[in-house]
Structure 1
Amino acid sequence: MDSPSLYPAIGFLTLLVTSFLMAYRRYKLHQNKDIRAVPSSLSPSSLSSSLSHSSLPSLVSRNWRHQVFPSFRGEDVRRGFLSHIQKEFERKGITLFIDNDIDRSKSIGPELIEAIRRSKISVVLISKNYASSTWCLNELVEIIKCRKELDQIVMIVFYEVDPSDVKKQSGEFGNVFEKTCVGKTVEDVARWGEALEEVAKIAGYDSRSWTNEADMIEKVAKDVSNMLNVAAPSSGLDELVGIESHITEISSVLSLASDEVRMVGIWGPAGIGKTTIARTLFSIISHDFTHTAFVESTKRGYNDDTAFKLHLQEQLLSQTLDHKDMKIDHLGVAEARLKDKKVLVVLDDVEEAMQLQAMACKTQWFGCGSRIIITTKDIKVLKAHGINHVYHVGYPRWSEALEILCLSAFGQKSPYAGFEELTMEVVSLAGKLPLGLSVFGSYMRGMSKDEWTHALPRLRTSLDGNIEKVLRLSYDALCDKDKTLFLHIACFFKHEKAKDMLECLEESDLDVKHGLQVLTERSLLSINRVDYLLMHSLLQQMGKEIIGKEDINEPKRRRFLMDAHDICDVLSDTTVSGAVLGIDLDINAVKEELSLDERAFEGMSRLQFLRVYNDNKLILPRGLNNLPRKLRLLHWYSFP
């Protein structure tokens, strides 16, 4: 840098992840070992988002003093370009190292070397007379050294000079360099030549490829700002419990080393952490792509399918092409604009095939090496689109679930002394669902041990509103018959065999086999190897609350009765209770003896499922006259 009063121009090269897994581990462990060659220059249409060296871990972990260290030849860029880029940088809040007080000589001193080493990004603006300055050449040698030894980012702008001339020290640039070398030692000439050859291999901005210099300056400033954002330390990554195991497993599915275009699904129930995983992936690997987009869940707001698809494409293109509020008038635009670009697109919380048809219809829409990541609760959406690379997000291990709860409740990874049993019960109530654990933990934060104890009954019987809001989305998307089947399972058939439920409902108007498939595909249900129906405890609680709200004041108007006190009230009232389909009564929940009239079930003409446990408090003085004719399942343990 030969002018102490001027700010430099900066070129931007973002992260090249040579291996997804290695990149993540470097990010976590602050280890940086791999280097990958990149092209010598980039045009506006082919600007590579590759970093000169895989430096993101270094950026995050080191104690940097300066944002940017510049190296440039003032006489080439003093007027025009440099002043314009300086103004744009100031507008974006980018600060540069200035060497006003450093004494210039042929050799750069320890103060300048320290400044280079303590800068997040070193920038080299190569112009036609750059090689006329031994000061610039010595800076360049030190910058390349930091690139190799410290994994420092090196950014390049080739300003009105051919990168190949820089690499070979030929043409007009070579003539300037040759004059500088006259009378210099063989060692100095060799060091300078090697540094120029090395820097010319780094992908950078070639000003000759830009028709509008203002556009290039705007792009440079924006990219530098983005890189500095990436370099900012993350405050939340360490709190993403279990994320490393997810990253390890999904790395093989993504296969980032391949140049193929690949669509990958992330599938799992609501609240399991699909979006969190996708965002973490996006932050780690986005710098290996020229264009990126994270498209959040978009609900249908149009009656017309074409209008909805156009809206989705506009969202996608606005992000990938960095064109705010882009408007298009036909559905061929996305393919035409993206087919030659290496893109990373995350489509979050996809619910219907039309969303994929609009934003990622075919792999041919995207350039080589592109990755399209889709998160969904419904695996059928992925299957229908022919997506075979799917990562299923499972529930965390018990130890991880406990850690999630404790971080939310105590701000540390383990419970306070004396809270061990209480936290174990809350983990059980949350069913290890990350969303439930976080919400429960936040609710309990700051409570004393006694307050925890008093809060537990409420957690056992009611669903937190924030949890319900998320889980309810999956339920609301079902058709009416599948909603009914879901409620049957939540209220009566959980932990029963699927074949038994099929027999009980064979005369109903429900398509049970199809419904079970839908509920399984949408992560609302699972069926284990021995045919038992399994449902997450929070989903079951949601189902019970939906039934409870059918009629808050009149239990006999609900389809299922599960609360012992409500059941006692209904059975004590011999008037018509024609809405009731199922009763699940645990007598132990009743404090006093329950004496039933012989006509207790006469008014329940629709009753199909009856289960009674522990009859030691149940009395039938006159027996029962009859049971409803539609009864399909009767479990009455120790009938009196």
Structure 2
Amino acid sequence: MDSYVSLTTVVAAAICFLALFGTIFFNRKSRSHQENKTMASSLTLLDPTYSFPHSWKHHVFPSFHGEDVRKNFLSHILKEFRSKGIDLFIDNDIERKRSWGQTVISLFYEVDPTDVKKQTGKFGKVFKKNCKGKTKGDIKIWKQALVEVAKIARYRSRNWFTDAEMIKDIATDVSYKLNHSAPSSDFDGLVGIESQMTKIGSLLQLDSDEVRKIGILGPPGIGKTSIARSLYNQHSQDFQLNVFIDNIKRKYVIPTCSDDYSVKLYLQKQFMSLLTNETDIKIPHLGIVKDRLKDRKVVVVLDDVDRSVQVEAMANKTCWFGHGSRIIVTTQDRRVLKASGINHIHKDGFKELACENVSLVACFFNGEQADIVEGCLAKCFLDVTQGLRVLAEKSLISMESRAIQMAELLVQLGRKIVLKQSVSDLGKRQFLNGAVDIGEVLSDDKADCSSVIGIDLKEEEDISCTSERSFERLTNLQFLRISGNGINTQSLNYISQKLRVLVWSEFQMPTFPSSFNPKFLVKLEMQFSDLEKLWDEIRPFNNLKWMDLSDSDSLEELPDLSTATNLQELDLKLDLGDCSSLAEIPSSIGNAVNLKTFLIFNCSSLLEIPSTIATITNLKSLRLSGCSSLLELPFNIETVTNPMCIDLRCCSSLMKLPSSIGNAIYLQKLDLSHCSSLVKLPSSIGNILSLEELKLSYCSSLVELPSSMKNLGRLSNLKLEKCLKLEILLANINLESLGYLNLSDCSLLKSYPKISTDIQELDPWTGRISSLQRLVLSGMKKLLNQKPLGISTKFKACIICADGNENGIADGDENGITDLVQTVYCSITSEGNALTACHKRAGQVVKGHLYIFEVEVETEEMTSTELVFEFLVGYWHIYEERINSKTWEIKECGVLQLQEVPLLSIRVVNEDNEPSYTEIGDKPWNPSKTEKRQEKKSKITGASSGI
């Protein structure tokens, strides 16, 4: 690279000699070697002593001489460059004397490179003219420069038929070179990369002119590709040609029937096409790579190689490449490296991977969700997803329900690994855990803390931290968790700019330090904080995925979220629970286009939700419960088509829903419980065909339900409890999926379908709700049968069991005890008082079988209008007169009031269906709650008929 830099100091000497010769300098944005030289010339000629700064504003510096070239050819090439987004510096800019590029590409436009090299022809005449008055030393240097410029990468106009084609090709090529010369910051701060780069540096020996082939060997997930990519990004600009071919094993599948020669030709064509950027390159034989590259210094990375023929085709011998070339191969198979003659091998195994991952989990991420860990470490750790998977496979961690859990002994092991990084100098450890170590580091103003990337202080630990520079020295801190008020934040004036995770409960400051920049922040969690606002100006939130400010009672405003536009992985969870002072959500929330979970509950001062929320098309869950001042939802919520759950519980000021709610076609759950001001629902609610659960309990102002609800064929749960003003239910109801209906304390309910007067009985429409298993109608006094009851009332009840087996389950338990019999049991209570009970010996419980009871109740014993029927299926202990805890699920049940009959004794129905009238006792047997499983209750009013 040094030769290129020195060349730029002299190559411009040729510029003014002939109007038709030019040079294009382009900024490589890489490491520069500044020369201590100055410029001294009144012409456009640059003296050899010119110095080149390394701070650049432009991409390309074209330099041509002559007004005719400037007005014609140069104007066209500049236009083409700008169309490709290439920023140009032209020599009439005031920056002409301050800025030049580092890489030189020569363009020989209607001039012969040989004339430039030998200073002959018209070019030679102009050269001699301009040498007058110059020293012999300057002339010698210029001649050497012209010889060199004729050798370097160049364009010759005679190779194109037209100037238009030439200009287009040159602009494309320069754009390509710019893209591949810009330094990458993708691996900045990558945990574990520095130690790996140090180890592999001795193998590369970049200062040597020999051609070297290096192998990176190891199992999946250890970061082989990341290491190779980092090496490539760091050094590729030092080579004339470079190529990174990733995932070779999957991208270049070799047909089983192909011979080796055909395979090598195919692979070599792909290789040369990528290396030279020629899409239609022809490879007639296997000598092309050597012919084209033997004089070129190249760097080639072949990633994830699984067969030696792949290396043989693309980088078989070192003699194929020019001096100083480097070939890097990553693989899981040592045999591939051996067969390819690669002896310089970097071995990266499970031990290193385990130590890195175990330390991270043990010191900071134990108990965290895997999605959050992967999101926080994705750009700063070697393949964390695969790494966690490997640890789980080795039983070093568990990932049940995607939560990472590590055994306590392994946590201690992981922390010991970190302790060994430095026994005496705590600031040289990567992670600090425990109040003693954290307090010692934060209290020492002179300690070097540049190695610390994580701090975790538990809630029960307090430290004394009075230094104003406590956090200033933690310049590389990426993970910070402080639980409780263990650190006094009154003197906090700096937070690391590299933070990816910031979790600080009970944070005591009203705002963050003004210098804090959250551009790398992935997770922000500030529960129970004293924050009034985060900051004043717009700050970058490009990487933010999780944000939790819940229970921050003093929070008055949210930050501007205009920059939260690049969220791509996982959910952005915005949790603002119990922020009672928050009065407004910024309209910039609409820029968080990947927001999926939005939690704003108990924000009692919040008056409205901005209409921009409608632009968040990926929103899955919107929870606004407890926002008691919220008057309405945005009118344009129709564009939010993806939410599966909307929770508006206890929004007591909400009077109506926008009609556009009907466009939320994927909505499954809608909770409007305790919306005491809600008068009616929009008719469009019937368009939400996916709705499964609708809760309207305690909507005390709700008068009627829209008839369009008959279309809700998937509705399985409808709660209308305590709807005190509800008078009319539904017309032509057809809710075939309804499994739960609660109408308790709907005291003004007057009409069921087709009935306009006070209800005397349940309408036959209930029979069309085939899935109904539980119906709650307690407290509905207008549904009482006004006809006088006799001294007793008779009911017929029935159940169908959901489990058991097709052949039935015989008497006796699994131990063969025969004093147990299969029994179906039914009891009736009124306000907790037992009225009667009966049990039916079934012999065996059969799935889908209908079991029928007939029971009588003395009406004089009834203390309310509510009767509770309880059913239970289990083993009846003959001698102990009780049912054991083993029961079966009851699929359906029903009760029907029969005509008045004289009081009979309660009967026990035997398995042969012959009734035997047996007195069970003054009080029916009532099993304890601990003995009940899968029981089903059917609540009906005193004089109602069948369910």
TM (normalized to structure 1)? 0.44
Instruction: Name the structure where helix makes up a greater proportion of residues.
Output: 1
Structure with more contact order per residue of length (Cα contacts < 8 Å, sep ≥ 6): 1
TM (normalized to structure 2)? 0.31
